[in-house]
Amino acid sequence: DSGVTQTPKHLITATGQRVTLRCSPRSGDLSVYWYQQSLDQGLQFLIQYYNGEERAKGNILERFSAQQFPDLHSELNLSSLELGDSALYFCASSGGDISYEQYFGPGTRLTVT
Amino acid sequence: GQQVMQIPQYQHVQEGEDFTTYCNSSTTLSNIQWYKQRPGGHPVFLIQLVKSGEVKKQKRLTFQFGEAKKNSSLHITATQTTDVGTYFCAGPNTGGFKTIFGAGTRLFVKA
């Protein structure tokens, strides 16, 4: 158990819909990272927050947005969903703002039908 | 843009054989991290290397960071079925905040 929690575990929704994925980092960690992993693919970095502020952006679509709240949990919002958005979405946390060791949550499997 | 390349993409070994995966970055890295993802699981942090030429061992796993800090390797001695999974290397981009993952090497171990 990494100490990072993600909800929900599974999500099935239709094209055009909007969903919110939630992540709680390990106790004491200030950074949250979001990644997308499509079937049998690598990890695509989406976005990072550090102590409530956006730190780095990767290949995140404009239809996607994220935020980190004062209690340090983070939410990833995906809107106008397309079939190609079906993937595993992982959240990871680390103590600092620079890219160092990251602890991953169990992921949310999103299926868009 | 900055890239982290990893080879091979797949490796099939007989239990007891050794295994090595290689990671190459297009730019110098301040550190390199290795993760393991079991089938159906999430990536798990294994180790981080920071110094040029650094070598670290964890039981049967040996990690190396190149002298130029642009390449790294993970070597597993005498693989076991529990080693099955995908091994990823990752490093920070030039600014340090974004993490770039290699595509991973998927290891299959036949008993």
Chain A residue with the nearest C-alpha to that of B42: A106
pLDDT at position B2 is: 81
Give the minimum alpha-carbon distance from A87 to chain B in angstroms, rounded to a whole number. 13
- Average pLDDT along chain A: 94
pLDDT at position B93 is: 81
Check CB contact of B96 with chain A, cutoff 8 Å. yes
**What phi-psi label fits residue A2: left (phi over 0), alpha (psi between -120 and 50 degrees) or beta?**
alpha
Give the minimum alpha-carbon distance from A83 to chain B in angstroms, rounded to a whole number. 21
Residue A97: pLDDT band with limits 50, 70, 90: low
Residue with tokens 């993760």: B35
pLDDT at position A109 is: 97
- DSSP string for A35-87: EEE-TT--PEEEEEEETTEEEEE-S--TTEEEEE-TTS-EEEEE-S--GGG-E
pLDDT tens track of chain B, all 111 residues? 788 999 999 999 999 999 999 999 999 999 999 999 999 999 999 999 999 999 999 999 999 999 999 999 999 999 999 999 999 999 988 777 788 999 999 999 999
Residue A96: pLDDT band with limits 50, 70, 90: confident
Residues of chain A contacting residue B90, judged by C-beta atoms under 8 Å apart: 43, 99
Q: Is the pLDDT of residue A45 over 80?
A: yes
DSSP class of residue B3 equals: -
* Chain B interface test: which of A55, A101, A103, A109 (most B C-beta within 10 Å): A101
A100 with B43: Cβ contact below 8 A: no
pLDDT at position A39 is: 80
**Overall average pLDDT of the A40-60 stretch:** 90
* More confident position, A100 or B15: B15
A42 with B93: Cβ contact below 8 A: no
Residues of chain B contacting residue A50, judged by C-beta atoms under 8 Å apart: 97
b/e A60-98 (16+ beta carbons within 10 angstroms → b): beeebebebeeebebbbebeebeeebbbbbbbbbbeebb
B101 with A102: Cβ contact below 8 A: no
A58 with B98: Cβ contact below 8 A: yes
